Amino acid sequence: MTSRKKVFITGANGLLGQKLVAQLLEKETFQVFASGKGECRLPGKGFEYVSLDIIDPAAVEKTLGEISPDIIIHGAAMTNVDQCELNQEACYDANVNATAYLIKAAEKAQAHFIFVSTDFIFSGEEGPLDENAVAAPVNYYGETKLEGEQLVMACKTKWSIARTVLVFGIAHDMSRTNIILWVKSSLEAGKEIQVVDDQFRTPTLAEDLAAGCILIAEKEAEGIFNICGPDYLSAYEMANITADYFGLNKDLIKRADSSTFSQPAKRPLKTGFIITKAQKELGFEPKTFRMAIGILAKQIILARA
């Protein structure tokens, strides 16, 4: 049997990370190293968990030097956009410095470096966007992810960037919620929510993002790929589709816009990505938003069982 490729996942305890590990384990072709801050929060077995705080350069060098992976899928980041705006030093450390340390280790191992990036590197003046769009972030999180991309594009080993948008799903012991779960739980609790109708996204099921990253790894595809859902929707539309799916009270969804609803960090208005390149070159085929909600609904039921 040909030896399995060693794949090192950062952020493995997170939403994307847990899906990546689960899908990689289903294949016979990878030896999976799942890394995260502190204790392992992943269910199941079949992978090697490595506790690694990626803002520690010596720890990154030592850990990656010992493993010497063939592939690194770097999904770890400080992802709370408002916290990033309010705590910029921590955000820079996690999203830029850590990426630099991991790139150095990837170059030493000559590993294929796959960086997970975001629509928040764009201004939101127009969307959806293809891979050639010009970046102009409107919040600090977006600035750090763009700087991370620039480090990746200059690295001296095979590199890829998987850009994604508004990831949703359910995972074990999640450190943050996401739009579908938030709308569902708010409406189930009878809570009125304000939802903007002028921010447009292409929401992405976490499983599809993981599948896209794995396609990039398997095909050793280099460069930038938009990996997200196919439907271009406003947050308000997403909330109403979610309420319809779960039979919840849509009267609780109060229409707002970015002039009446604001968060500590500015959000780009129109983002979302065109995925033609990933469809053609990788065979990437994500679920529609409605199909994805159906998959999530089943997982929620299973998680309760």
Ligand X SMILES: NC(=O)C1=CN([C@@H]2O[C@H](COP(=O)(O)OP(=O)(O)OC[C@H]3O[C@@H](n4cnc5c(N)ncnc54)[C@H](OP(=O)(O)O)[C@@H]3O)[C@@H](O)[C@H]2O)C=CC1
Residues contributing to the site for ligand TDO (CB under 6 A): 79, 81, 118-120, 165-166, 179, 193-196, 199, 235, 261, 263, 267
CA max distance for the chain: 60
What residues are paired with 163 via a beta bridge? 117, 226
What residue 94 binds from ligand X, ligand TDO, none (CB within 5 to 8 A, per partner kind)?
A: ligand X
What residue 235 binds from ligand X, ligand TDO, none (CB within 5 to 8 A, per partner kind)?
A: ligand TDO
What residue 105 binds from ligand TDO, ligand X, none (CB within 5 to 8 A, per partner kind)?
A: none
Name 206's Cβ contacts closer than 8 Å, sequence gap at least 6: 15, 16, 19, 167, 168, 169, 171
Nearest-CA neighbor of 57 among 89, 91, 88, 97?
97
* Angstrom distances, CA of residue 237 to CA of 94, 197, 291: 33, 7, 15
What is the end-to-end Cα distance of the chain in Å, rounded?
38
Give the nearer residue to ligand TDO in terms of CB position, either 69 or 272: 272
Q: At its nearest, how many Å lie between ligand TDO and the CB of residue 119?
A: 5
Q: At its nearest, how many Å lie between ligand TDO and the CB of residue 263?
A: 6
Name 6's Cβ contacts closer than 8 Å, sequence gap at least 6: 30, 31, 33, 67, 68, 69, 70, 71
Give the nearer residue to ligand X in terms of CB position, either 55 or 292: 55
Q: At its nearest, how many Å lie between ligand TDO and the CB of residue 67?
A: 27
Helix (H, G, I), strand (E, B) or coil at 297: helix
Q: Is 160 exposed, middle or buried (0-12, 13-18, 19+ CB in 10 A)?
A: buried
Name 256's Cβ contacts closer than 8 Å, sequence gap at least 6: 194, 195, 196, 197, 236
What residue 78 binds from ligand X, ligand TDO, none (CB within 5 to 8 A, per partner kind)?
A: ligand X
- DSSP string of 56-117, one letter each residue: -HHHHHHHHHHH--SEEEE------HHHHHH-HHHHHIIIIIHHHHHHHHHHHHTPEEEEEE
Give the nearer residue to ligand X in terms of CB position, either 37 or 270: 37
Q: At its nearest, how many Å lie between ligand X and the CB of residue 28?
A: 25
**Ramachandran region, residue 23 (left: φ > 0; alpha: ψ -120 to 50; beta: rest):** alpha
What residue 37 binds from ligand TDO, ligand X, none (CB within 5 to 8 A, per partner kind)?
A: ligand X
Helix (H, G, I), strand (E, B) or coil at 223: strand
Give the nearer residue to ligand TDO in terms of CB position, either 215 or 256: 256
Q: At its nearest, how many Å lie between ligand TDO and the CB of residue 267?
A: 5
> Under the rule (CB under 6 A), what is the footprint of ligand X?
11, 13-17, 36-37, 53-55, 75-79, 94, 98, 116, 118, 145, 164-167, 175-176
Give the nearer residue to ligand TDO in terms of CB position, either 109 or 114: 114
Q: At its nearest, how many Å lie between ligand TDO and the CB of residue 261?
A: 6
Give the nearer residue to ligand TDO in terms of CB position, either 63 or 79: 79
Tokens at residue 7, please? 């794949």
What residue 76 binds from ligand X, ligand TDO, none (CB within 5 to 8 A, per partner kind)?
A: ligand X
Give the nearer residue to ligand X in terms of CB position, either 52 or 252: 52
What residue 199 binds from ligand X, ligand TDO, none (CB within 5 to 8 A, per partner kind)?
A: ligand TDO
